[in-house]
């Protein structure tokens, strides 16, 4: 019993290549800063190894 990918690879190469392109991972987004600095506007801080929320929003 063969996998679907293997069957497509031999019988329908064009479809196989298109599906492989769709499944390829995209490049990682460069954040430009540490996560705790990016989360400061949400009132998060690092406690030990964990990120903790110290304040809630302003009631919206």
Q: What is the per-residue pLDDT for 39?
A: 66
pTM of the model: 0.39
Instruction: Give pLDDT tens digits for 1-51.
Output: 678 888 888 899 999 999 888 887 777 767 777 776 776 666 777 788 887
Q: Report whether pLDDT(60) > 60.
A: no
- Which pLDDT band, with edges at 50, 70 and 90, does 57 fall under? low
Q: What is the per-residue pLDDT for 11?
A: 92
CB-CB contact of 11 with 21 (8 Å)? no
Q: Residue holding tokens 């996560």? A: 35
Beta strands in 1-60 (DSSP E): 44-47, 50-53
Q: Which two tokens stand for residue 37?
A: 């600095």
């Amino acid at each position: 019993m063969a996998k679907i990918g293997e069957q497509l690879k031999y019988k329908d190469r064009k479809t196989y290549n298109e599906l492989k392109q769709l499944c390829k991972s995209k490049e990682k987004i460069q954040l430009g800063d540490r996560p705790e600095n990016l989360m400061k506007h949400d009132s998060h801080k690092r406690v030990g190894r964990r990120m903790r929320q110290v304040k809630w929003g302003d009631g919206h």
